[in-house]
Amino acid sequence: MKRREILKTLTMLPLAGSIGNSGSIVQSVQAAPLLKRDVFSEFGLRTFINASGYFTSLSGSLMHEEALDAIRDASKHFCRLEDVQDKVGARIASLLHAESAMVTAGAFSALMLGMAGVLSGNDAKKASQIPFLEGSGIKSEVILQKAHNDGYAHALKNCGVKLITVTTAKELENAINENTAMMYFINYQATLGEIQHAEWLKIAKKHKIPTMIDMAADLPPKENLWKFHDMGFDLVCVSGGKFMRGPQSTGILSGKKDLIAAARLNAPPRGNNIGRGMKVNKEEIFALYFALERFINTDQDQEWKMLEDRITVIANAASSVKGVKAKVIPLLLINRIPTLNISWDKSLIKLDNLATNLREGNPSIEVMGGPDGSINVTTHMLKADEVKIVAQRIKDELTKAMV
């Protein structure tokens, strides 16, 4: 459908209502003038330039055209949802060096469905019992490092398991018992834990315990998409709506064939399971796939340079103001993208709330708060023409506040 046609369709109901009895609804709509509706202004919503990042609260990322095209194409026909997961899952798996894959409703959903699959195996009755594991004969303990116990591990607890935290390899060995269902690792917390990927896997394999890694936001580099399969993790979870810019409500669970099949037993279209509320339909599945393909085919060195060049434009503008320091901060494992910290000498510039001023200005700009009232800026969610705007607005705010 062309954009104009979509707009026409969106416009259909109110117009039809206002036209009254003059012919059938269809004729009325065809006769009606095209009214361009803007959802944001219609609902009184503030839109903004996103110099912050792909955060859920900021509505994630903007989908690439490829993903939007896939949604439009996929919306035209019916097909069986299981077939879509089979076919798209197989393609995703081959791109990711995995045996099998499925599209989930975000990485959180990948964690939950992967966990449920580990617990149920291919037993639908067990799937129907999750999260009530007591007396079910289902293993109910998941081991992870203390440093890896972030809020996202709640996805596992949703399945009724108990999280057992350990610090050392010796503690890990001691914690493993016949009730251990899985060993869970969070990639971005790796440097905070004593046990690294290889050792974690070695101990898991020794005891034949399935492993899962959460690498939801750890792109780029794209190699992370297959690295953990190559290492030997049984299940890998990633977000589709972060750097990859598929639908914000998608993710990928990839890994061992039997475990993906088991996870699907816990997901739509099947009901009477924990995942029934985590539905992804064909539109999102295809859109995620095309976003993934594009992401893998992108020249990431060139893209990285573009992100850095943008950072330089903003850094130069900010630091042209006397007393301002603009520094690129060290990369983390999570959200691994160039990030600029902008701080200022408080005796030269009286500015307590730069982030708020940027938000409340026109155009509105979202940045991250940094230490001590400073701000952090990223450039991967900016459109090309927004870079200069961000640079200028930050410079203006700083200049205005000079004493």
Ligand X SMILES: *Cc1c(COP(=O)(O)O)cnc(C)c1O
**Residue 392 in contact with residue 317, Cβ under 8 Å?**
yes
Beta strands in 233-367 (DSSP E): 235-239, 251-255, 324-328, 339-344, 365-366
Least distance in angstroms from the C-beta of 376 to ligand X: 17
Helix (H, G, I), strand (E, B), or coil: what is residue 39?
helix
Q: 135: buried, middle or exposed (CB in 10 Å: 19+, 13-18, 0-12)?
A: exposed
Nearer to ligand X, 114 or 160 (CB): 114
Instruction: Give the span between the Cα atoms of 209 and 345, in whole angstroms.
Output: 54
**Which of helix, strand or coil describes residue 40?**
helix
Give Cα 317 to chain centroid, integer Å.
Answer: 31
Q: In the complex, which residue's CB is closest to ligand X?
A: 106
Enumerate binding residues for ligand X (CB under 6 A): 56, 106-108, 152, 188, 214, 216-217, 239, 241, 251, 334
Select 79 or 332, whichever has its Cβ closest to ligand X: 332
Inter-residue contact 1 to 71 (CB < 8 Å):
no
In whole angstroms, the minimum distance from the beta carbon of 362 to ligand X comes to: 30
Of 121 and 152, CB closest to ligand X: 152
Question: Considering the complex, what minimum distance in angstroms separates the CB of residue 320 from ligand X?
Answer: 35
* Cα–Cα distance list, 372 to 189, 293, 339, 344, 345 (Å): 24, 40, 16, 10, 11
Paired strand residues for 341: 327, 376
The amino acid at residue 373 is G
C-beta of 214 vs 234, nearer to ligand X:
214
Residue placing its CB nearer to ligand X in the complex, 74 or 107: 107
Min separation Cβ 334 and ligand X, Å:
6
Distance CA(184)–CA(210), nearest Å, equals 9
> Which CB, 217 or 259, lies closer to ligand X?
217
CB of 151 to ligand X, least distance (A): 8
Closest to ligand X by CB, 228 or 344: 228
CB of 150 vs ligand X, minimal distance in Å: 7
| Nearest-approach distance from CB 217 to ligand X, in angstroms | 4
